[in-house]
Amino acid sequence: MAIFKGAGVAIVTPFKKDLSINYEKLDALLTEQIDQGTDAIIICGTTGESATLTETEHTNAIRFTVERVKKRIPVIAGTGSNCTATAIRLSKEAEEVGADAALVVTPYYNKATQNGLINHFESIAANIKLPIIMYNIPGRTGIGMAAHTIAHLIKHVDNIVGVKESTGDIGFVARTMNLCDGKLELYSGNDDQIVPLLSLGGLGVISVISNIAPKYTHDIVSTYHAGDTKTACQMQLKAMPMIDALFCEVNPIPVKAAMNLLGKEVGSLRNPLTEIEPQHLQLLRKAMEDFGIL
């Protein structure tokens, strides 16, 4: 059975003025997401600024989310690292505090070989029972998983079940799905390619735009799966200017700015991320107005 089907939100980590985690605000965001139909919570991912969380903060944020969600929808914990031992430790901690799955990014900066990637993911999987979604995003990590690497892991490791696909290469996705013989749980990692990946057998999306439009994003996927592909396509196209605005600077700078424009008070960002540039804030505001959420 798939971890989830639909739209999972790659939720931001809200901060107080002193840049400590604002758990009261996180609680409110989780409630809103569930009320609006979001199908899974992805905590401590890229959008959650995992790179600047301490390991203690990381585990505490996952524990808090699990406790507040109370099994209403799956909680998927980002537990990746460029150090295999660290990724194992984070994954074991996520399992101990009750996460439903782990999202594990390819090891950044090291530029491992494909054999190194296989060893990395096999080592993590051997130390936990949680299902694992691999995160393939070479634009941020400097290394991409080959289609045959994904297929090898999916076919030979029982608890490696899926991929969050963020290469942007539709042909690569098609070749990967072909090699995996129907065994791969595919999630789009790009909001601008939700419907294209669904058409190749995808189950849903792990989404940034869900932070500000959870019901809309959920409805794109549910509409597609209900068989109304034309409407789902129209919804995807309508969202494109908003999606583009959310990536006018590196994620999560724009989405945090958007949430603050909506009065959600998620706070600032930790260095080295900085506040959105004024011209981009103006672009973002207009996109939100045109989309009808501001």
- The residues carrying an active-site annotation are 135, 164
The conformation of residue 72, written as its DSSP 8-state character, comes to: S
Strand partners, 204: 6, 187
Dihedral angle of Cα 122, 128, 129, 134, to the nearest 10 degrees: -50
Report the SS3 class of residue 267.
coil
Q: Are 9 and 16 in contact (CB under 8 A)?
A: no
* Residue located via tokens 């494909």: 114
| CA distances (Å), origin 13, targets 52, 133, 231, 285 | 11, 21, 32, 21
Distance CA 216, CA 210 (A): 8
